[in-house]
Every structure is written in C-alpha cells, then in structure tokens.
Amino acid sequence: MTEIRPLYFEDEHIYPQTHVQAIVGLNNATTEKNGLLSKEDKQKLDKLNVTDSNKLGSVFYKEVTLSADNEH
C-alpha cells in the first residue's frame, strides 16, 4: 500500500488541491470549447446512443490477488 504522508509548508500542515473541481484551469469541455477533452470529442460523446449499448464493445478485466509474499 502507498504510504500516506502529511505535507507541511513553513511548519503548517497543508492540503494540496487534488480534487478535479479544485484544480485551477481544469475545465470541462463543451461543444464549443476544449477542456478535459477536445470540443470535437465532446461532440462525439454527446452523440452516443446509450440505448444501444451493445455497439459500444466490451471491457475485459482480470482479477489479481497478491499474497503477502508478492508485496513490494
């Protein structure tokens, strides 16, 4: 597991802006303006017909279980 460490600046405990809504300059895309994705991709995304999800393809995954011997 990743170690969680507190951050300090001039002896004051600080919290970085990491939530997507807190990051300055990180805007949602519109059909008129680029943002997290291009305006062209936003237009394509808005045109997706979610009622026919069979045409979207498949997602494959594999479950992996690590034993204590395999931890890094």
pLDDT in tens, 18-50: 877 777 777 889 999 998 899 999 999 888 766
- At residue 31, the pLDDT reads 94
Sign of the torsion formed by the C-alpha atoms of 45, 49, 53 and 56: negative
Give the 3-state secondary structure of residue 49.
coil
User: What are the backbone angles phi and psi of residue 52, rounded to the nearest 5°?
Assistant: -115, 65
Band of pLDDT at residue 52, cut at 50, 70 and 90: low
User: What are the backbone angles phi and psi of residue 44, rounded to the nearest 5°?
Assistant: -65, -45
This prediction has a pTM of 0.43
